[in-house]
């Protein structure tokens, strides 16, 4: 799986958009970008994933650069409950024979 | 959606005793289950992979005789920490892959975790 780089921490004001960057310059053509988050003392939660097109769901938007070397997760209207560690992971979709390799992620703190 | 139910959510045990953690897939069949361990302020580390009906595979440095994994059915995998010691105190999390097709593959679903404290 390609390596990812994320800032260790970020702050965002409640109600504003939180933009979390991720660099994955060695991503392969068949690797997807997945985002998970882990709220304190809970298991990780799937947020969104994409290959090359931008994606949006009820939780977030994912913007992937044209060269696919980086991406941004956008939480459009952050709430206090969005405070969590966010993990950007790149891997091939399907399969499921291997576990995930988690980096250190970004600790997003939403300020009231 | 696919849910993995993990129990107990927390447990305190005495040093030298064994603790069993269960993970059940509630509305799907999990032929594979992954077990992770997370120490405070650290990321999740994969410990082992269990496959229904066969022996688990362990990551380097994880003692298979200490962390016994059983995956006897398509909906239940268990992790038993044997002869627990204070250094085994950690947050244990199970996970199952969601084997959809193409972009419908959401990757993995996770249990809620078990906080183990060995005293």
CB contact under 8 A, B45 and A102: yes
CB contact under 8 A, A44 and B44: yes
Query: Would you give the end-to-end CA distance of chain B in angstroms?
Result: 37
Residue B37, strand partner residues: B45, B92
A30 to A65, B105, B109: CA distances (angstroms)? 15, 13, 21
Q: What count of CB pairs under 8 Å joins A to B?
A: 71
In 3D, which of B65, B1, B2 has the Cα closest to residue B33?
Answer: B2
Residues belonging to chain B: 119
Q: With bands split at pLDDT 50, 70 and 90, how would you rate the model's confidence at A42?
A: very high
CB contact under 8 A, A98 and B49: yes
Count of other CB atoms within 10 angstroms of residue B48: 21
B85 to B14, B59, B65: CA distances (angstroms)? 8, 20, 14
Choose, out of B31, B44, B92, the residue to mutate when testing the contact with A (most A CBs < 10 Å). Answer: B44
Task: Kindly tell me if the per-residue pLDDT of B18 is higher than 80.
Answer: yes
Percentage of the residues of chain B whose pLDDT score is greater than 90: 76
Q: Tell me which DSSP letter residue B46 carries.
A: E
Q: What is the pLDDT of residues B28-50, one digit of tens each?
A: 888 899 999 999 999 999 999 99
Spatial separation of the C-alpha atoms in residues B54 and B57, rounded to whole Å? 9
Helix/strand/coil for A5: strand
């Amino acid at each position: 799986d390609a390596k990812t780089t994320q800032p260790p921490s970020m702050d965002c004001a409640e109600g504003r958009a939180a933009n979390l960057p991720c660099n994955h310059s060695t991503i392969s053509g068949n690797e997807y970008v997945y985002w998970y988050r882990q709220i304190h003392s809970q298991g990780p939660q799937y947020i969104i994933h994409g290959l090359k097109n931008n994606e949006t769901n009820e939780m977030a938007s994912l913007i992937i650069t044209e060269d696919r070397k980086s991406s941004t997760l956008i939480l459009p209207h952050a709430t206090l409950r969005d405070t969590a560690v966010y993990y950007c992971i790149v891997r091939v979709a399907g399969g499921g024979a291997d576990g995930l390799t988690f980096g250190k992620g970004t600790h997003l703190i939403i300020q009231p | 959606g696919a849910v993995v139910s993990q129990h107990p959510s927390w447990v305190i045990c005495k040093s030298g005793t064994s603790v069993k953690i269960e993970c059940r897939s509630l509305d799907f069949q999990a032929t594979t289950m992954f077990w992770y361990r997370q120490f405070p302020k650290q990321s999740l580390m994969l410990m082992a992979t269990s496959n229904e009906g066969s022996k688990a595979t362990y990551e380097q440095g994880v003692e298979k005789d200490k962390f016994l994994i059983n995956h006897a059915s398509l909906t239940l995998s268990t992790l038993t920490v044997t002869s627990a010691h204070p250094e085994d105190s950690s947050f244990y999390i199970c996970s199952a892959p969601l084997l959809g097709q193409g972009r419908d593959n959401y990757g993995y679903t996770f249990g809620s975790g078990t906080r183990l404290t060995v005293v």
